Amino acid sequence: MKLAMLHVPGLKRYSRLGACAGLVLTLCLTGCEPPPVDSVQRGYRGLGMVELYSRKGLEREAALNVVPDPIAAATPGTPPATTAFKNLQVLNDLSISEMSRVMVAMTQWVAPAQGCTYCHEAANFASDTLYTKVVARRMLQMTRHINADWKTHVATTGVTCYTCHRGQPVPSQIWFKSPTPNQSAGQLGDHGGMTVPTNSIGLASLPYDPFTTFYDTSPAEIRVNGDTALPEGNRHSIKQTEWTYALMMNVSQSLGVNCTYCHNTRSFAIWDSSTPQRNTAWYGIRMVRDLNTAYLDPLASTFPSNRLGPTGDGPKLYCATCHQGAYKPFFGASMLKDYPELSGEHTPGLAATAGTAAPEKTD
Dihedral over alpha carbons 306, 312, 314, 316 (to 10 degrees): -110
| Touching ligand HEC, residues 82-121 (CB under 6 A) | 85-92, 103-104, 106-107, 110-111, 116, 118-120
Nearer to ligand HEC, 198 or 277 (CB): 277
Binding of ligand HEC by 165 (CB under 6 A): yes
Binding of ligand HEC by 315 (CB under 6 A): yes
| Touching ligand HEC, residues 136-155 (CB under 6 A) | 136-137, 139-140, 143, 146, 153-155
Cβ-contact 110, 161 below 8 angstroms: yes
Binding of ligand HEC by 255 (CB under 6 A): yes
| Touching ligand HEC, residues 261-280 (CB under 6 A) | 261-263, 268-269, 277-278, 280
The residue range among 1-9, 35-43, 66-74, 159-167 that interacts with ligand HEC, by the rule CB under 6 A, is 159-167
3-state secondary structure (DSSP) of residue 43: coil
The residue range among 29-37, 38-46, 127-135, 351-359 that interacts with ligand HEC, by the rule CB under 6 A, is 127-135
Nearer to ligand HEC, 124 or 195 (CB): 124
Dihedral over alpha carbons 154, 160, 161, 163 (to 10 degrees): -60
Residues 6+ apart with CB under 8 A from 168: 110
The residue range among 7-15, 36-44, 60-68, 220-228 that interacts with ligand HEC, by the rule CB under 6 A, is 220-228
Rounded to whole angstroms, the Cα distance separating 236 from 250 reads: 20
User: How many C-alpha atoms does 297 have within 13 Å on its Cβ side?
Assistant: 13
| Shortest distance in whole angstroms from residue 225 CB to ligand HEC | 4
Residue 305 phi, psi (nearest 5): -60, -30
Q: Which of 206, 249, 326, 350 binds ligand HEC (CB under 6 A)?
A: 249
> ∠ CA 276-278-282 to the nearest 5 degrees?
125
Nearer to ligand HEC, 204 or 351 (CB): 204
Strands (E) located in 206-288: none
